[in-house]
Amino acid sequence: MEKAGGVAALTMNRPDALNALDVTTPEEVLAALSAIAADRSLRAAILTGAGKAFVAGADITAMSGMSAAGARCFGLEAGLDEALAYEAALFGLLFSGNDAREGMAAFVEKRKPAFTGD
């Protein structure tokens, strides 16, 4: 993760696998998002992928040796209800400020954001 000017950039960095999610990636992403949410100096976060893909989905090669039950829970250390609650809490933290809303609007409108520090 890189930080500059109140913005965190988190890059999925498995370009040879089209950034497919392996067993450790979800934990690493959650840890990084938790750090971003806790850092009050950050106003926005960018999640991107190295190479030509953002994320291709689950790494099927990594899942090939798993049982069916293991594959269904691939990358999840928590139950679905706990994971959804965590996602909602992170979403609220990451998108609650004016700069976060401006960043999202700028992304959708394909323009440079005009951050104010709020």
pLDDT of residue 8: 92
Q: Is 28:21 a contact under the CB 8 Å cutoff?
A: no
Residue 52 is encoded by which pair of tokens? Answer: 């030509």
CA distance 14 to 27: 15
Q: What is the pLDDT of residues 88-110, one digit of tens each?
A: 776 766 667 788 788 888 888 99
CA distance 18 to 29: 16
Percent of the chain whose predicted confidence (pLDDT) is above 90: 18
pLDDT of residue 51: 93
Domains, the chain:
2-109 (3.90.226.10)
Q: What is the pLDDT of residues 8-53, one digit of tens each?
A: 999 999 999 999 888 788 788 888 888 888 888 988 888 899 999 8
**Residue 115 reports pLDDT greater than 70:** yes
pTM of the model: 0.58
**Residue 71 reports pLDDT greater than 80:** no
